[in-house]
Chains A and B, each alone.
Chain A
Amino acid sequence: SQQGEEDPQALSIQEGENATMNCSYKTSINNLQWYRQNSGRGLVHLILIRSNEREKHSGRLRVTLDTSKKSSSLLITASRAADTASYFCATVHPSGYALNFGKGTSLLVTP
């Protein structure tokens, strides 16, 4: 069953703008991860944030985690056309082994 829910379902922006995607989840987590999927391709791991962390950066990516609200956000700054993809959040339950994915946010970045 889906654990995370991303919002919005789809996002269209222009190059240079920032893109923000949100993820809400339902149960306790060990960590939360964000993945990117280009159309019909495999998923690529972007960033992992642990339950005791509040914010993490990686290049143009900034992830926040609020465990009290059971939510996370992914910010992509200065977006590029190559950022066009679907973005998924995935959670790991403390006693779990596998990733529980949301349905994803489809991001379109136009030149």
Chain B
Amino acid sequence: DSGVTQTPKHLITATGQRVTLRCSPRSGDLSVYWYQQSLDQGLQFLIQYYNGEERAKGNILERFSAQQFPDLHSELNLSSLELGDSALYFCASSVGARADTQYFGPGTRLTVL
């Protein structure tokens, strides 16, 4: 158990819908990262927050957004969902702003029908 929690575990929804994925980092970790894992694209970095502020952006679509709250939990919002958004979404956390060891949550499996 990494100490990172993600909810929900599974999410099934329809195209055009909007969903919110939630992540709670390990106690004491200030950085939260979001990754998307799909068969064709592999593991892709989406976005990082550090202590409430956006720190780095990766291959995140404009339809996706995220935020980190004062209690350090984070939410990833996916809107206008398409079939291709079906993937495993992982949250990871680390102590500092720079990416040393990251601790991954169990992931949320999103299926868009």
- 4 residue pairs, one from A and one from B, having the closest CB atoms: A101-B43, A97-B56, A42-B104, A98-B45
Verify A40–B33 contact, CB threshold 8 A. no
A74 to B48, CA, bound (A): 27
A5 to B91, CA, bound (A): 22
A96 to B59, CA, bound (A): 14
Interface string of A59-94 (1 = CB under 8 A from B): 000000000000000000000000000001000100
Majority-rule SS of A interface residues: loop
Q: A45-B102, A103-B42 are in contact. Are A97 and B88 (CB under 8 A)?
A: no
A33 to B102, CA, bound (A): 10
Verify B2–A92 contact, CB threshold 8 A. no
Q: A43-B90, A88-B43 are in contact. Are A98 and B33 (CB under 8 A)?
A: yes
Verify B55–A41 contact, CB threshold 8 A. no
Verify A96–B99 contact, CB threshold 8 A. yes
**A residues apposed to B, CB below 8 Å:** 1-2, 30-31, 33, 35, 40-45, 48, 88, 92, 96-104
Verify A101–B42 contact, CB threshold 8 A. yes
A50 to chain B minimum Cβ distance, whole angstroms, is: 10
Q: A43-B90, A103-B42, A104-B42 are in contact. Are A98 and B104 (CB under 8 A)?
A: no
Verify B42–A97 contact, CB threshold 8 A. no
Verify B56–A48 contact, CB threshold 8 A. no
Q: A42-B2, A97-B48 are in contact. Are A92 and B90 (CB under 8 A)?
A: no
A43 to B4, CA, bound (A): 11
Verify A45–B99 contact, CB threshold 8 A. no
Q: Which residues of B contact A33 (CB under 8 A)?
A: 101
Residue contacts A-B, CB under 8 angstroms, 23 given: A30-B98, A41-B107, A42-B2, A42-B104, A42-B105, A42-B106, A43-B90, A43-B104, A45-B102, A45-B103, A45-B104, A88-B43, A92-B98, A92-B100, A96-B56, A97-B56, A98-B56, A98-B58, A98-B99, A99-B35, A100-B45, A101-B42, A104-B43
Verify B107–A99 contact, CB threshold 8 A. no
A85 to chain B minimum Cβ distance, whole angstroms, is: 13
A56 to chain B minimum Cβ distance, whole angstroms, is: 13
